[in-house]
Amino acid sequence: MNYQSFIGLEVHIHLLTKSKVFCKCDSAFGAEPNTHVCPVCMGYPGVLPALNIEAMRMGCTVARALNCSIPERTWFERKQYFYPDMTKNYQISQFASPLGQNGYIILEGENNGQKINKKVRIKECHLEEDAGKMIHTGTVSLLDYNRAGVSLLEIVTEPDMETGEEAELFIRQLRRTVRYLGVCDGNMEEGSLRADANVSINTPGAGLGKKVECKNLNSSRFVRLALNYEIGRQAVRLDEGKTVVQETRLWNENRDQTEPMRQKENAQDYRYFPEPDLPVFTPDAAFLKTVDESLVELPQNRIKRMAQQYGLDGGQIDIIADEKEEADFFEESAKAIGLKDGAEAAYKTLANYFLGDIRGYLNKNGLDARHIRSLNLKPAGLAGIVRMQEEGRISSKTAKKVLEMLLADGGDPEAIVAKNNWEQIRDKGTIEKAVNDVLAAEAATLADLKKAKDEGNAKRASSLTAFLAGKAIAATGGRADPRLVQEILAGKV
């Protein structure tokens, strides 16, 4: 039978605040266990939390980027539950007044062969503290509280998605957005972006079904796989006349299937109540101004604009603008080329260097595209190479050589080309003389060429012409502009 499916995501992102959300501890990932802790995040009695305003600002920036409204008053609640990774036995979170409300994003693109264009409503974004980390090794369980109290933003969608592909695209778009905003590194393996995926199916028109929550999805691909698996599993149950059990399931990446983890009692009661130790936060005009100032041109808009502005295809720009740093580098270089004629061709050449040589260099050196600024190559240098190449002053081969030099040691391409005498010869008189000398010296070849032309043997004629052009270029020490040599030669034979 045909069913309608409903998918809603709950995405947690670690905000890149230097310190934790309610204390001054360092929030960096990867330190020695239990070194980034203090009485507040260890939940000692009698200590007082204090809101990290930077976490609130980053949270509100994400909210704005997701078209959410920020309420006039926003506060925190205690969410009570007992678990060893929660030192206080409650988590400070937001319940009644999330900092971002009623937003949406437009999913746009193609994923796994599916064309997608869909509005997904964002129910809310709320700020909370992360829990510690439990590590189970054999019969021992270890606890690392470095993560306890790290700023966490939870983004909750309405169940507006229908396929694993849409959910994966949502995560990818969100990840790119928060990286552009500089508020999260989006690293799913390290857990700085975590997604829980809720899914149900039902007969068309019957509304939401019984929801299953999938956890343990530490890559966007697993989100897609788990959801598509789950939609299939639930359909089989309904086809067989069974019902779907409302439960939490885990994705088992070794068996490519979801497996039951726990049955969720009807709506857990966390006994939320307002956190008495933190005042209500009232975003004032000055605060909201800093939020607006943190907004950048968002990736989806930027990719569209860049494709149009530089006449490049969407696929290329999608790669070049995946990271904001690289997109910035590209646009600075493009601007510095400064060609009036042939700008479009120059942008294509520039894009090819980004997708080819520069990417290759980054990969070879184990560098992320975000580190493009740390290269010895700078936008002005790159622009110089492209400009000289497009003006015909250097050959594409020389351009590549100079690019390699700049990647290795930096420098000024004009100076490098001048010093090595690599500029192409484009003086017509000089080239004409070289061509005439070659034609005089190669009388037999010239005769062959004429014969080939008379016989209409185009293949042989073009290979003989190439031979003569090669000789003429060699006579100039390899420096004559091949286009001009071809042109002048063509006028003579």
With CB under 5 to 8 Å by kind, the binding choice for 156 among ligand ADP, Zn ion, none is ligand ADP
Q: Tokens for 21, please give them.
A: 């959300």
Pick out residues in 211-230 that bind ligand ADP (CB under 6 A).
Answer: 211
Nearer to ligand ADP, 156 or 306 (CB): 156
Piece of 31-39, 244-252, 313-321, 369-377 that binds Zn ion (CB under 5 A): 31-39
DSSP per residue, 336-376? HH--STTHHHHHHHHHHHIIIIIHHHHHHTT--GGGGGGSS
Distance of CA 373 to the CA centre of its chain: 16
Distance from CA of residue 417 to its chain's centroid? 36
Q: Binding Zn ion by CB under 5 A: which of 34, 38, 101, 430?
A: 38
CA 311, 313, 316, 320 torsion-angle sign: positive
H or E element in which residue 129 lies: strand 114-129
CA distance 402 to 409: 10
The nearest distance, CB 86 to Zn ion, in angstroms, is 14
Contact of residue 41 among ligand ADP, Zn ion, none (CB under 5-8 Å per partner type): Zn ion
Residue 208 makes contact with ligand ADP by CB under 6 A: yes
Q: 9: closest CA among 119, 114, 181, 161?
A: 161
Instruction: Answer yes or no whether residue 9 interacts with ligand ADP by CB under 6 A.
Output: yes
- Given a contact cutoff of 8 angstroms between Cβ atoms, the answer to whether 251 and 217 are in contact is yes
* Stretch in the footprint of Zn ion (CB under 5 A) among 38-46, 239-247, 271-279, 321-329: 38-46
CA separation, residue 445 to residues 255, 341, 442 (Å)? 70, 39, 5
- Residue from 13, 25, 227, 438 touching Zn ion (CB under 5 A): that is 25
Smallest distance from Zn ion to CB 136, Å:
24
Our finding on whether 159 is near ligand ADP (CB under 6 A) is yes
Mark the segment that binds ligand ADP (CB under 6 A) among 74-82, 147-155, 157-165, 295-303. 157-165
Instruction: Locate 119 and state its tokens.
Output: 């509005």
In the set 7, 13, 41, 362, which binds Zn ion (CB under 5 A)? Answer: 41
Nearest-CB residue for ligand ADP: 8
Q: Which does 381 bind (CB under 5 to 8 A by kind): ligand ADP, Zn ion, none?
A: none
Site residues for ligand ADP per CB under 6 A: 6, 8-10, 156-159, 198-200, 208-209, 211
